Amino acid sequence: MNAMLTSSQRQLLRAISESGPLSRTEMAQMLGLSKAAMSGIARDLIDLGVLHETEIVYGQGRPSVLLDLHPECAFFVGISLLEDPAPMILSDLNGKIIARQAMPLSRDPKVIAEAITEGLPSLLEAHPDAKEKLSGIGVALSGFVDESQANCVKSTLLGWQDVPLAKIIRERSGIETFIENDAKAVAVSEKLFGSAREIQNFSVVSLGDGIGCAHFIDGRLYRGNHGGAGEIAHCTIEPGGSPCRCGKRGCLDTVASMKAIKEMSRAEGLECTSLSDIENEASTGNAAAIRILHRAGSALGLAIANLIQMNDPGLILITHVEGSFEGLFGTVVNQAIETNVLPRYAGQTPIRIKRVDGDVWARGAAGIAAHNFLIGSSY
């Protein structure tokens, strides 16, 4: 239903998704079109149910009517293949989670497609609206995804190589489907729904068991030439350091991922099962805990500083699941960023910390579907 949007219509949707509600006149200025053209485009999109009039702003002269996306004009399903059971959520066009369930994870694409298809009815059960207007499925996974957001080029976690997962799910479920790398999916959903809406250049660093990263450049997700842009986890931070499961040494992942921090704690004989535990130990003066947090924080900070130097993003968004950035770890990270960035730049790149819950990945996946619905893959 959505494939036949004009290029201008798409541009408009993109603009609104970036800046929030706009009057027709503002839209016209933004896209460089005449008021006349804008009027027609807006009317069409309102008729389609994608836009609707919201606020009326009074000023001098005729008041302007703000148009915004109609959040209930389309619904999306997002699935994360990062955990077992795999979270599965239903979201609207604002990224609001409307329903949530889980499905069994599998390594067999066909079984996944089957599980998704079977899970849909119950996910949509209490939401007849959503059932009718379900416009896309998004899947987040750990691995490399191609430009078309259809094929998984390689996933070590899932043991895949060149798996056309999107096609398989699409064929089984009958719903438009797109897949994406986990960190990239989060970046897209932050651009669409989150705190980076209006920012054209930013990077997301997602801190969890592993470390993920993705870049938005000139308002678009930058996937890299082999889909590997943002593989910050395997930047060498401690040359000659500990061996990494990737085969080389001293990767950021071996020092600053939650998994690494926990392993280091265990090796030091600390009985810690979470970042908060270690932070607690450190705050009571435990030297080992302090050392570990220092090492991890400096490494992450250095990597982020290098990212800033390299790409000069307008925002670094650090998402983390566990613990908080209020403690020693966060302080060290910030310090390390400051000391490793060109002094002239220090403090010029906003660092935003965002604590996220277990829905991040599924929500990100839904964002991929929403992005394809709204804007499409090309400009």
* DSSP code at position 237: S
Binding of a second copy by 353 (CB under 8 A) = no
| DSSP 8-class letter at 204 | E
306 touches a second copy (CB under 8 A): yes
Contact region with a second copy (CB under 8 A), list: 107-115, 166-174, 229-237, 289-297: 229-237
Q: Which of 340, 352, 354, 359 binds a second copy (CB under 8 A)?
A: 340
The reply on whether position 162 binds a second copy by CB under 8 A is: no
Give dist(CA 289, CA 375) in Å, integer: 47
| Among DNA, a second copy, none, residue 30 binds (CB under 5-8 Å by kind) | none
Residues 6+ apart with CB under 8 A from 21: 54, 55, 66, 67, 68
Amino acid, single-letter form, for residue 357: D
By CB under 8 A, residue 215 contacts a second copy? yes
Q: Of 51 and 305, which has the nearer Cβ to a second copy?
A: 305
Q: Minimal distance in Å, beta carbon 294 to a second copy?
A: 12
Residue from the set 24, 234, 262, 371 that interacts with a second copy by CB under 8 A: 234
**Packed helices 287-311 and 328-340: angle between N→C axes, nearest 10 degrees:** 40
- Residue 108 is encoded by which pair of tokens? 């067999």
Alpha-carbon separation of residue 80 from 176, 219, 248 (angstroms): 17, 24, 28
In the complex with DNA, the residue whose CB is nearer, 32 or 128, is 32
Residue 306's binding partner among DNA, a second copy, none (Cβ under 5 to 8 angstroms by kind) is: a second copy
245 binds a second copy, rule: CB under 8 A: no
Nearer to DNA by Cβ, of 34 and 348: the residue is 34
Question: HSE (CB half, 13 Å, CA atoms) of 319?
Answer: 26
Residue 305 touches which member of DNA, a second copy, none, C-beta under 5-8 Å by kind: a second copy
Residue 345 touching a second copy (CB under 8 A): yes
User: 41 is in the binding site of which of a second copy, DNA, none (Cβ under 5 to 8 A by kind)?
Assistant: DNA
* 172 touches 114 (CB < 8 A): yes
- The partner in contact with residue 59, picked from a second copy, DNA, none with C-beta cut-offs of 5 to 8 angstroms by kind, is DNA
Q: Collect all residues with Cβ–Cβ distance below 8 Å to 60 and sequence separation of at least 6.
A: none
Report CA torsion sign: 323, 326, 331, 337: positive
CB of 278 to a second copy, least distance (A): 22
Using CB under 7 A, list all residues that contact DNA: 6-8, 23-26, 32-43, 56, 58-65
Q: Work out the number of other CB atoms within 10 angstroms of the CB of residue 220.
A: 17
* 63 Cβ contact partners less than 8 Å away, ≥ 6 residues apart: 56, 57
Asked if residue 289 lies in contact with residue 265, where contact means CB atoms within 8 angstroms, the answer is yes
Residue 157 binds a second copy, judged by CB under 8 A: no
Stretch 41-80: interaction string toward a second copy, x if CB under 8 A: ----------------------------------------
Check binding of 288 to a second copy (CB under 8 A).
no
Nearest to 67 by CA among 41, 34, 36, 98: 41
Residue 66, CA distances (Å) to 16, 56, 109, 352 in order = 10, 6, 44, 29
Is residue 82 near a second copy by the rule CB under 8 A?
no
- DSSP reduced 3-state for 45: helix
217 is an interface residue for a second copy by CB under 8 A: yes
Task: Tell me if 25 contacts a second copy by CB under 8 A.
Answer: no
Residue 287, interface with a second copy (CB under 8 A)? no
Binding of residue 204 to a second copy (CB under 8 A): no
